[in-house]
Structure 1
Amino acid sequence: MFPIRDHNPSGRRPYVVYTLMAFNILAYAFYATMFDTDIELARFYNAYALIPAEIDAAQRLSPLVSSLFIHGGFMHLAGNMLFLWIFGDNMEDEMGHLPFLAFYLACGIGAGLVHIASGPDSHVPTIGASGAIAGVMGGYLLLFPRARIDILLILVIYFRIFTIPAYLMLGVWLGMQFLGSLNADPNTGGVAYWAHTGGFAVGLLLTVPLWVKRGGRAFWRQTRGQPPHPQAKYSASRIPQLPRKKPGQSPWTKGR
């Protein structure tokens, strides 16, 4: 399952979210078309990706930030940008533009450090904005636990859109990342589960001062864990279905 939208409209334009998305998309367009061979692309990743063994040896610290803007493929990029778009605008609305930017980078760096701690001797390059975005999701959970999220559930040939509270969607996602962390080997490729789990925890903790400033439990009682403004309403969403075809008839041919 993955989210497609929330019912939590932003009170202001999320310029930082727009900028972060633009940087990630333009960066991908650059390195996806600039290099002619896989060797050249691998050199690029080695130069800007997060490599725990090199960070642990204090050889290079800049990849803690540069790696947040590099992705391994179009679907990797698209998935991360979707999550940033859904959850980032509300966090920017609550924090303000520049504080949200600092929060996002801090979550990304924190996620990278947790990943390094899970395997300090690893030479496997790690890339992607998902650690920072996981932090955004952690903060969102603290501020809007009962905000409504529309998710697309895919079970083999079954497709359905459900509306569920944020705490359920984000809780399931976090649980999957934590379970993945228990079996993750930092010396092999794959999903950086500890970066996701760590980024989520960092984001939640960094949002606590804002939550306290809003009133803490009183803020929850006042809003009941929902957005502090009218929620967005959408018309019913349906998954298109192919028309049933008659014997000997193309599914795209209208019957007479």
Structure 2
Amino acid sequence: MGRLTEAIKHLLIINVLFFIATSLYGDQMYEWFSLFFPKNEHFRLWQIITHMFMHGGFMHILFNMYALWAFGTPLERMWGRNKFLFFYLSAGLGAALIHIGVNYYYYNEGMNALVNSGLTESSVLDIINKGQYNTNWYSIAGKATIDNFLSAFNTPVVGASGAIYGILVAFGMSFPNSELFLIFLPIPIKAKFFIPVLIALDLFSGVTGYSLFGQGIAHFAHVGGAIFGFLMMWYWKKNQFNNNRWN
């Protein structure tokens, strides 16, 4: 890919600085900058942006930053720095919105079941804001509903993956015949085939709860980033906006 482009260089630096700070200050960084559910007492508005620069471990940031460099470099060279940054941040914001929207669905499903049983929303919030829950809730709404409800409320999301999925979609639409090599499948696969399959697997994992990529992955954030990336690319191509550079 050659020399680092400006936007990607600065994104790499910011992500690494956040990672170093998280290694030093741990839980405090996660509490301040991870994206919490909006009804969680730890939620702050800036987390919609800052969660994109937080990562849960070395391999997490390594894979994300490699993908940012590998797939983002040709896009920034084609679009220019400002346009690339706009696309990247917009895809990340879109991923956050989809993730929060799905969590609201799980939250409302669980909360409505508990309220219909005679509990009040405020009493339930008092309990779960303390990181607690009542085992009797499982008899009211079922294990899957309560587990999804608690996970949606309690589990913060970190990582650049949502924005990266937007970049993947843009790369696939801009360079569809580029051949990609996977570590576990050392044969070339064209981007126009590989990227849709990757997104479909994330959607499958999110809907079924059967994760093909391991636990603790915000699959709907990935899908959200891909959707917003596709919509921006579709709009830009339709309006011949994709050919303009923002330097």
Distance 2:206 2:64 in 1: 19
CA deviation after TM superposition for structure 1 residue 44, in Å: 2.1
Closer, same or farther in 2 for the Cα pair 1:106/1:179, shift >3 Å?
A: same
Distance 1:124 1:215 in 2: 38
Distance 1:199 1:85 in 2: 17
Distance 2:16 2:42 in 1: 29
Distance 2:47 2:39 in 1: 10
Closer, same or farther in 2 for the Cα pair 1:31/1:94, shift >3 Å?
A: same
The count of corresponding residues between Structure 1 and Structure 2 is: 192
Q: 1:167 aligns with which of 189, 192, 200?
A: 192
Contact 1:53 1:123 (C-alpha < 8 Å) held by counterparts: no
Contact 1:54 1:60 (C-alpha < 8 Å) held by counterparts: no
Closer, same or farther in 2 for the Cα pair 1:43/1:29, shift >3 Å?
A: closer
Q: 1:100 aligns with which of 52, 75, 84?
A: 84
Contact 1:16 1:97 (C-alpha < 8 Å) held by counterparts: yes
Alpha-carbon RMSD across the aligned residues, in angstroms, is 2.6
| Residue in 2 that maps onto 1:38 | none
| Residue in 1 that maps onto 2:33 | 48
Identity %: 29
| Residue in 2 that maps onto 1:145 | 176
* Pairing of 1:9-48 with structure 2 (within 5 A): 14-32=5-23, 34-35=24-25, 41-48=26-33
* Pairing of 1:78-89 with structure 2 (within 5 A): 78-89=62-73
Closer, same or farther in 2 for the Cα pair 1:94/1:202, shift >3 Å?
A: same
Closer, same or farther in 2 for the Cα pair 1:29/1:59, shift >3 Å?
A: closer
Q: TM-score, normalised by structure 2?
A: 0.70
Contact 2:95 2:222 (C-alpha < 8 Å) held by counterparts: yes
Distance 2:241 2:218 in 1: 35
Distance 2:232 2:192 in 1: 18
Contact 1:152 1:162 (C-alpha < 8 Å) held by counterparts: no
* Pairing of 1:80-229 with structure 2 (within 5 A): 80-120=64-104, 121=107, 122-153=153-184, 161-184=186-209, 190-213=216-239
CA deviation after TM superposition for structure 1 residue 214, in Å: 5.1
**Range that drifts further, 198-207 or 143-152:** 143-152
Contact 2:206 2:219 (C-alpha < 8 Å) held by counterparts: yes
CA deviation after TM superposition for structure 1 residue 204, in Å: 1.2
User: Whose strand fraction is larger, Structure 1's or Structure 2's?
Assistant: 1
Structure 2 residues not aligned, in runs of 5+:
108-152
Distance 1:27 1:47 in 2: 12
| Residue in 2 that maps onto 1:228 | none
Structure 1 residues not aligned, in runs of 5+:
1-8, 36-40, 154-159, 220-256
